[in-house]
Amino acid sequence: MASSASVDDNIESNPLLQDFDVPPFDVVEAKHVRPGIRALLKKLESDLDELEKTVEPSWPKLVEPLEKIVDRLTVVWGIVNHLKAVKDTAELRAAVEEVQPEKVKFQLRVGQSKPIYNAFKAIQESPDWKSLSEARKRIVETQIKEAVLNGVSLEDDKREQFNKIEQELERLSHKFSENVLDATKKFEKLITDKKEIEGLPATSLGLAAQTAVSKGHENATAENGPWMITLDAPCLFAVMQHARNRALREEVYRANITRASSGDLDNTPIINQILKLRMEKARLLNYNNYAEVSMATKMATVDKAEELLEKLRSASWNAAVQDIEDLKSYSKSQGALEADNLSHWDINFWSERLRESKYNINEEELRPYFSLSKVMDGLFKLAKTLFGVDIEPADGLAPVWNKDVRFYCVKDSSGSPIAYFYFDPYSRPSEKREGAWMDEVVSRSRVMSPNGTTPRLPIAHMVCNQTPPFGDKPSLMTFREVETVFHEFGHALQHMLTKQDEGLVAGIRGIEWDAVELPSQFMENWCYHRDTLMSIAKHYETGESLPEEVYLKLLAARTFRAGSLSLRQLRFASVDLELHTKYIPDGSESVFDVDQRVSRKTQVIPPLPEDRFLCGFNHIFAGGYAAGYYSYKWAEVLSADAFSAFEDVGLYNTKVWCLKGLFRIAFLLIYIYFLEELCISNIVKSFHTFQPTHPLLFCVNLTRIYVCAKSWRAIAYCKRFNTLFITLQRHKSLNAYPQLLC
């Protein structure tokens, strides 16, 4: 047994417990998690005891000490959770699983603290309430609402039941995600006959050979194999789009839709238990279902979300039916035996062939124009144009968790740093979970200032799973991978460009979940902006720009199969809402019956009877999208309207952007970069007729939101942009609501 002195020494040297400006990602190991988290929780428990004894309804005596407690746990647990997502090991899983209940217990104690809750209520009811900034009002209102949703008002026995539910939900969600990762890794198919993978492009063959090498086939090459086929996204998409071997496509498709649905990795009982516990939680909180709990912190209501999805479904259906008819006709013209009876594993293959034929675009032939370095250079130039910020490499300034991770500094026009971010671009299926995401490392905060004078600067991380470099070639991206990078960068911008110094509502903190996807989807639009695309589309060997005719073809192909792609998202969103509103756990229908029923209305070709995609649906069972997947469509409405503001004045008229500050109003206002004290839901409520429920109504001109902002600070910014205000007067919304122009 180790001596107490050696344990203390280990605690003192534990990287999770050190004071740091940037996290020590390079030295944190599984062995640090148990002692580090426990020591941290012990310290925070003591801090919380002191806060509850001395709390007063004032900022220095309530909010500032609370922020220090919440922030420290958020940052340190964030390090551990992030490493689990990008550098997963059995040892790290075991450590997290052991201390996670202790972490959840502490979070529940904070959330259910009656002294803290009563102090926030006292602030809200005090005569000084009206004099608080909008940001501070937002904090108070949010803390009160979250306390109620955390069970602060429950009686002792019900609160104990509630806490057990929360503990179990946290455990189940982690297990769900782990099962998906393990099931994805489990599928491997070694191919030695090149005829079996005929049609796969050179990039994909190289990746499959590289994977084979990593699995012990040292002599594998792109030309001669062997090749390892996996369910990792770059490989999966390549097979489904390009493999002429229909049997291979079917095998890979079936493996993908049945991930984590059998054996030790079966997520079916986990799904059932999660839904049952969410229903119990909702009833304890006096809600009818879990969707109502979810909507309590969102812009939408259940009815409005369902209304939006149905209108979009109705608008998309005929187009999707025509998409399938087009595929049948084209595949028949190419002599395909399956033309009259296309199956799921045929759709992507023949869609890609039809797209190539119709627009003369070959996605693989575009890859050489989208090397990662060129894409990032162009993205940073766009950020400079839109925001006046410079983004510079800062590698070496911060420790990283993998040699491929880059670190960047964001500087304002004076050259002063305003934020930093990590970028982890490549797929690593053996240790990194699927998908792409952005999250905070630390947020901007006055309270957490390192020197007591200037606020702490925000740090974000962006994570993707795109095609890695192969041989002497850099990472050559598909156009969809380019869109994904722009998408995640939009999230990162929202976090990094905030000027809000109140840490509890700065950056991505406190944003309504159905507005979270607005900045990300907005940024995707710029992939089709000619000047932006031409700045990133440079051949990695010759430096030649993407030919103009190819750009025009890309633009024309943008809406290819739009109906089908829309229905795919609507299926996910609709089954999510159905499971969290009407589904009865342990009732006559299984979750898969619900999916089949929803899919009959949202899929032209119904899913296979054995389809178990729900067992891999991380978004709603292991992410933050439970009863919230509709947010993608809700935010798409808002982002389309934001981008239309540019189209109104001309996407190429950069002088208009600069002189009239159009982007400040369309982008920064919505994201609360400059008018940070305004929350999106309050802005929308001010314009009481706004509800984004019509598929063609790309609602609320940004002008409306701007003039509806009931804040003198908003009016001051409005007056600062006199020329901009003149431009906006041509919109009908100003004439319709003259009373708002006080």
What lies within 8 Å, CB to CB, of 455 at 6+ separation is 444, 445, 446, 448, 449, 501
The continuous run of DSSP H or E covering 392 comes out as strand 390-393
Quote the tokens at residue 664.
């400040």
Exposure b/e, 699-737, CB count within 10 A at least 16 = b: bbbbbbbbbbbebeebeebbeebeebbebbeebebbeeb
What residues contact 157, with CB distance under 8 A and at least 6 apart?
Answer: none
Dihedral, CA of residue 444, residue 447, residue 452 and residue 458, to nearest 10: -10
Residue 427 corresponds to which tokens in the numbers above? 């797929």
Taking the C-alpha atoms of residue 396 and residue 380, their distance in angstroms, rounded to an integer, is 20
Write out the two tokens for 456. Answer: 């702490």
C-alpha–C-alpha distance, residues 701 and 645, integer Å: 8
Which residues are CB-neighbours of 708 under 8 A, at least 6 positions away?
683, 686, 687, 737, 740
Residue 543: CB atoms within 10 A of its CB come to 8
Under a CB-based contact definition with an 8 Å cutoff, are residues 339 and 332 in contact? yes
DSSP collapsed to 3 states, 353-374: HHHHHHHCCCHHHHHHHEEHHH
State CA 42 to chain mean position distance.
Answer: 32
User: Bridge partners of 426?
Assistant: 466
Residue 337 in tokens? 């035996």
What is the spatial distance between Cα 293 and Cα 282, in angstroms, rounded to a whole number? 6
Spatial distance between the Cα atoms of 319 and 207, rounded to a whole number of angstroms:
35
d(CA 155, CA 150): 12
Q: Which residues, listed in sequence order, are joined to residue 392 by a DSSP beta bridge?
A: 409
Known catalytic residue: 488?
Answer: yes
Pairwise CA distance, residues 565 & 55, whole Å: 53
- Structure tokens that stand for 537 in this block: 């589309």
Catalytic residue among 488, 502, 676, 677: 488
Euclidean distance between CA atoms 516 and 627, whole angstroms: 14
C-alpha distance from residue 662 to each of 25, 158, 643, 653, 713 (Å): 39, 52, 11, 11, 18
Count the neighbouring beta carbons within 10 Å of the beta carbon of residue 340: 9
Radius of gyration for the alpha carbons in the chain, expressed in angstroms and rounded = 26
> HSE (CB half, 13 Å, CA atoms) of 56?
5
The number of angstroms, rounded, from the C-alpha of 529 to the middle of its chain's C-alpha atoms is 23
Residues labelled catalytic: 488
